[in-house]
Amino acid sequence: MMWIVVALIMLLVLAVMLWWLWRQEARKAGRSVSGALGIPLIVVVLAAAGYGLIGYNEHTGPWLQHQQDYRSVAQDIIAGKPPTKAAADVPAGALVRVLQSELTHNPSAIGWYALGSLYDQLGAPVQSEEAALKAVALAPDDPSMHLLLARSRIEQAGGKLTDPALEDIRWVLDREPAHDGAWMLLAMSADRAGRYDLSIQGWESLLSRHGEGETGDLLRRGLDNARAQKARQGVFASIRSVVQGGDLPAGGTLFVYIREAGSQGQPLAAHRQVVPSFPASVVLTEGDWLQAYPDSDADLVIGARYTPAPGASVDQAAISAAPVPLTMPQTSPAALQLGSP
């Protein structure tokens, strides 16, 4: 609370100075100044009361305590020194707040990198990207900064490789062709994005250096899966359906999905679009797949949900079309009827 006392003293000094200037002007004008000595005191009392009533936030106390407890840790990180406290003894959320505060006064690449990594651990990829951009700006030639930026962008896309993230990864690989961390990030995120050529390239590069033992077995499993998915990609690249609306008003939001028969939870694939008129033709493409392509003998169904509200979410789509069997490869579009039981 020392800073509060200092603030009140400064306020009192300011009030006295203003009062003294006002008194000088009043005397020049021939006006009485009796009783005016209490004005500075009143100002301080009102300021203190205002702070006590509305100015003090319930989180201020813990924040000040965290500043006292972890400021030296944050300063060590910013300076690139080993922290004075073990990581297990410092709450990540508290360190984030203190580190953020310290970096505004003393920015450093390693400090922003540490903050971005903490945000990544806390599941805040947007904030992680902001910190990573600052780290890259201060250390543009450091691969670690670029990989943190790539990872934050991939996390924002649900673990899928994006073009900006691919640029960051390629920047690293152009300078360090055997960077295992970059290749692993590429292989896994490209796999989730359905970009199997890139995924295969990543697994093959890793296997060329780590082909022995359990590590080699895991990498070969990843490579075999990417090759199998690439082989199935052409079969599932364009799944067609025609959705009948009956007497339903057009202009709403339609969701067409594919799942294994009898399964619940996230579908294998889903497509969302606004329907200007019925019947509506819907095509599910590679970008609509949320999970890995199923085996060729999987028992699949295709269904739909609809809401007359444009731009609504799937949770608001209460009108359903009963799922129908989906046989691959398709010989004709799947026929769906909204409002069917």
For residues 136 and 168, what is the distance between their CA atoms, to the nearest angstrom?
A: 11
C-beta of residue 239 within 8 angstroms of C-beta of residue 271: no
Stretch 23-37: mean pLDDT: 58
* 339 — pLDDT class (breaks 50, 70, 90): confident
The residue whose two tokens read 């990543």 is: 202
pLDDT of 3 above 70: no
The segment with the largest mean pLDDT, out of 13-17, 55-59, 217-221, is 217-221
pLDDT of 39 above 80: no
Q: What is the pLDDT of residues 97-136, one digit of tens each?
A: 888 888 988 999 999 999 999 999 999 999 999 999 999 9
C-beta of residue 63 within 8 angstroms of C-beta of residue 36: no
Q: What is the pLDDT of residue 233?
A: 87
The residue whose two tokens read 């106390």 is: 61
Q: Is the peptide bond before 279 cis (omega within 30 degrees of 0)?
A: yes
Q: Which two tokens stand for residue 296?
A: 């060729």
Q: What is the pLDDT of residues 64-93, one digit of tens each?
A: 565 666 677 778 788 888 777 666 677 787
H/E run at residue 47: helix 38-50
Q: What is the pLDDT of residue 27?
A: 65
Q: What is the pLDDT of residues 280-326, one digit of tens each?
A: 999 999 889 988 899 878 899 999 999 998 877 888 888 999 999 99
pLDDT of 276 above 50: yes
Q: What is the pLDDT of residue 26?
A: 58
For residues 11 and 336, what is the distance between their CA atoms, to the nearest angstrom?
A: 73
CB contact set of 195 (below 8 Å; sequence gap of 6+) = 161
29: how many CB neighbours lie within 10 A of its CB?
7
* 163 — pLDDT class (breaks 50, 70, 90): very high
Provide the residue count of the chain. 341
The mean pLDDT of the chain is 84
Q: What percent of the chain has pLDDT over 90?
A: 55
Cα–Cα nearest to 254, from 294, 292, 284, 290:
284
pLDDT of 5 above 80: no
Stretch 155-180: mean pLDDT: 96
Q: Which two tokens stand for residue 144?
A: 């670690």
C-beta of residue 118 within 8 angstroms of C-beta of residue 83: no
C-alpha torsion sign, points 134, 139, 141, 146: negative
C-beta of residue 214 within 8 angstroms of C-beta of residue 202: no
C-alpha 303: how far from chain center: 30
Cα–Cα nearest to 300, from 224, 231, 227, 241:
241
CB contact set of 337 (below 8 Å; sequence gap of 6+) = 243, 244, 246, 321, 322
Q: Which residue has the higher pLDDT, 266 or 37?
A: 266
Q: Identify any residues that bridge with 304 across adjacent strands, giving them in sequence order.
A: 256, 321
